[in-house]
Homo-oligomer: A and B are copies of this chain.
Amino acid sequence: MIITKPYIFKVRYYETDKMGIVHHSNYIRWMEEARLDYLEQLGQRFDKLEADGVISPVVSVSCNYKISCIFGDTVEIKVKLIEYTGIRYVFEYEIVRAGSGETAATGRSEHCVINKDGRPVSIKRRFPAFDSLLSECVNRDKDCF
């Protein structure tokens, strides 16, 4: 299994607010960017599930803000999969200001797969390849950061 690399990008000007710092809602978006990049590195394009008539919505999300990111910052996001039940999967994130190495925020997001009627779908039964991937990732990521 390949080692997934952190997601690195530069803060965009429009992500700042009148406090002069990045608006807190953008960290939630960054977590999504980092999560989809993580999955794509492993060969799982997120929108492929959608082509199969299901979607994978966010069940819950949380973020703890420690130090503000500002325009000009390069941000590095470390992602790990910390839980997978066959139906739900949970990611954790560490958002780092690359210059200083400080942890700006930590986050968590929980996901499931549902069909067009909004009913939960078993990843284990319906998407065996995705199931294997998530199982392997949980084992590997356990001891990360």
Contact = CB atoms under 8 A, between A and B. Distances in A.
How many copies the complex holds: the figure is: 4
Given A60-B63, A62-B62, A65-B57, A13 B32 contact: yes
A21 interface: yes
Interface in A105-138: 118
Contacts of A20: 18
Interface in A44-66: 45-47, 50, 55, 57-65
A12 interface: yes
A20 B72 CA distance: 17
A18 B47 contact: yes
Interface string A3-27: 0000000001110111111011110
